[in-house]
Amino acid sequence: MRMRIKCEMDIINRLLPSMNVKKGGRSCHTQLSIGKKPQSDSKEGTLFLMVCTAQDKNGTKFQIKDNVEQIFAKFINEGKATIRFKDPEQDLCLCKADPLQLKNFLTLLRKASLGQNIDKINLSTLAPASNKGIDKPKTKLSVTSRKDYPLTKSFPSQLEHLHISQCRMKKIDSRIFQLKRLQHLDLRENVVEELPLTFSQLVNLRELILNSNRIQKLPSSLFLLPNWKQMLSLLDLSNNNITLLPVQLCELDNLVTLRVDHNKLETFPPTVGRLKKLKYLSASHNRIEVLPYSFMQLQLEHLDLFDNLFIDVTKSDLEEKEWQAPSLVECCARMIRKNRLPYSEDDLHAHLCRYLDSARVCWCGGFCFEGCVRALTSLSLQTFSPTVSAVDLQGRMTVPVLLFLCSPQCQRKYKRNPHAYWR
């Protein structure tokens, strides 16, 4: 059992509303402990819950036995709970506690309040708290030189923001993946070459900055991690050596900002339009020649495609071919991609995975592979975003767009009106 926990706490006096008095203030970092007063080591000694804060290191004591009216623990898995006392008529509202420690602490508190035997548990002496016990845990850390890097001591366990730059880090320190509360990780200006799948341990990660490293390849399985798909909102991969963005990147449901400037990209994934929440996209100084049609589906607020290798398209160019019924393999592949069924080399042969990755998106929204025709047109950058940068120093504002037509019906519609499906 845990005799002592640290958390954020707010005390609510239940008598104040009846006196028409509103409570002000905010929660503060607190140490809670269960024990007996000093020199009360006998079995009959009265148990207390002591609350220590930076303002009150000596602590406020609440008698436990027959004095706990109710414990509200509906959100205990989020580190939240409320302890209601009879005398005084106050509620202790706890948050930001370790869920497991909080469960153990409340279990002990319930037993003590009911007068159950807890003699086998070594209770703490209710002495004033030390500075270490009540200091607010460190949530931000910035390391900007190798000499300041913590080699002999661990990272603070409560970190939410971690910035490590100019430390010549080649592999991401495994200790970083133990920081369960980490939301913002900035590893810019290092020499990181690979991204490990242990990112799955950072369940609260929302922003990842890897600007100015030596990354060449992005593992596709990274973008299928549940925490990345559901949580990641900012991804900065600028100033690396990346040649390809995996199609799985388009599964990041909450991605708002994507920066891939100064890489070696030749194109975007054909399903990039699935990034429904993407608002800020920067891909300047790459080798992009054309944009995929699904780019039109993005609802961007800012777009920067300066200094790429966009080809000149003076008029729409439609490939002509005789249509044949799609193969059985293509029919199956279309259904897998349409229904967004997950796949990996653990399930399918490697060449089938590569085949599925090569899917093209028709302007009708369907997927196609060999059974399609190609069309090339040009569009103004204002079509994609209200705030844009020119693609070259001459102020060019048009870019080539490549689309594929999956059936004779789509081909006929395109011939009648090339802009039928453009938003």
Residue 242: CATH number of its domain: 3.80.10.10
**How far, CA to CA in Å, does 66 sit from each of 114, 286, 387?**
6, 70, 65
pLDDT for the residue numbered 98: 85
Per-residue model confidence as pLDDT tens digits over 330-368: 999 999 988 888 888 888 888 888 888 888 888 788 888
pLDDT for the residue numbered 183: 96
- For residues 168 and 273, membership in a common domain is answered with yes
- For residues 200 and 103, membership in a common domain is answered with no
pLDDT for the residue numbered 413: 85
Per-residue model confidence as pLDDT tens digits over 226-235: 999 999 999 9
pLDDT for the residue numbered 39: 60
- For residues 68 and 155, membership in a common domain is answered with no
Structural domain contains residue 66: yes
Domain count, the chain: 2
Average pLDDT of the segment spanning 214-218:
95
Mean pLDDT of the residues in the chain? 87
Show which of 311, 337, 354 is a domain's final residue.
311
- For residues 107 and 151, membership in a common domain is answered with no
pLDDT for the residue numbered 423: 43
- For residues 117 and 156, membership in a common domain is answered with no
- For residues 157 and 303, membership in a common domain is answered with yes
Structural domain contains residue 272: yes
Show which of 285, 311, 337 is a domain's final residue.
311
In the chain, % of residues over pLDDT 70: 91
Per-residue model confidence as pLDDT tens digits over 74-127: 999 989 999 999 999 999 999 988 888 899 999 999 998 988 877 677 676 677
Dihedral sign computed on CA atoms, order 188, 189, 195, 197: negative
In the chain, % of residues over pLDDT 90: 48
**DSSP string spanning 99-146?**
HHHHHHHHHHHHHHHTT---TTS-PEE-PPPPHHHHSPPP-EEEE-SG
Is residue 44 predicted with pLDDT exceeding 80? no
Cα 8 to the center of its chain, rounded Å: 24
Is residue 195 predicted with pLDDT exceeding 90? yes
- For residues 129 and 165, membership in a common domain is answered with no
- For residues 106 and 173, membership in a common domain is answered with no
Structural domain contains residue 380: no
Neighbours of 337 (CB within 10 A): 22
Average pLDDT of the segment spanning 267-295:
94
Show which of 134, 157, 182 is a domain's final residue.
134
Is residue 289 predicted with pLDDT exceeding 60? yes
Is residue 268 predicted with pLDDT exceeding 90? yes
Structural domain boundaries, residue 106? 4-134
pTM, rounded to two decimals: 0.73
- For residues 295 and 147, membership in a common domain is answered with yes
With beta carbons less than 8 A apart as the criterion, state whether 36 and 119 touch. Answer: no
Structural domain contains residue 112: yes
Structural domain contains residue 87: yes
- For residues 144 and 293, membership in a common domain is answered with yes
- For residues 153 and 85, membership in a common domain is answered with no
Structural domain contains residue 35: yes
- For residues 210 and 234, membership in a common domain is answered with yes
Structural domain contains residue 126: yes
Structural domain contains residue 395: no
CATH of the domain at 99: 2.30.29.180
